[in-house]
Amino acid sequence: MVPMRFLVFNKKTGEFTTQKPLEVFPSMFVTHQLNAFENPDGTLVADMVVYDSHDPYVKYFYTDFLTTQLYPSTARILRFTLDTKGSRVMYSYLVPQETIAADFPQINHGYEGRAYQWAYLVEHPFASDNTILKINVDDPSGSRNLKFKSDPSLVLHEPYFHWI
């Protein structure tokens, strides 16, 4: 099994900041990133939607699959904390469930690259009567998470923040 690997570079210099990739087991397939930022202590945080395999792109997004069944509960919403000085990676869950039927995350783009509090995901993508899940990334218990449900005949998709 191949571990998940992170290559970290300095955006100002374009140089890698680690000699070797930072690795964490088990292997994971990332579909989308919610956000990433640097903590005051120098650690890097990367919040991502991950799967155990590449099934989302070779199975779940095809019409044959989507017209016969709901999007499966196989995504994990994880926060990776990268300690480049200690050459280690830790991860934790951002939602109380280990796996969830959600993807297509968004945040308020005013917080890109900075610490943030809220993220939005589509539960049961491509299905009518689905929901937008608002998660508090600082509270993995889910006690402050909210769901937005629309008309049952509609299909909600990736939320987007529009600046006026």
54 labelled binding-site residue = no
Under 8 Å between Cβ of 65 and 75: no
Peptide linkage before 152 cis (omega within 30 of 0): no
Closest CA to 159 of 103, 106, 100, 109: 106
DSSP-assigned beta bridge partners for residue 100: 75
Euclidean distance between CA atoms 107 and 99, whole angstroms: 20
Under 8 Å between Cβ of 8 and 86: no
Sign of the C-alpha dihedral computed for residues 143, 148, 152 and 155 taken in this order: negative
Euclidean distance between CA atoms 148 and 70, whole angstroms: 18
Question: H or E stretch including 83?
Answer: strand 76-83
**Binding-site sequence positions for Fe cation:** 32
Annotated binding site: 32
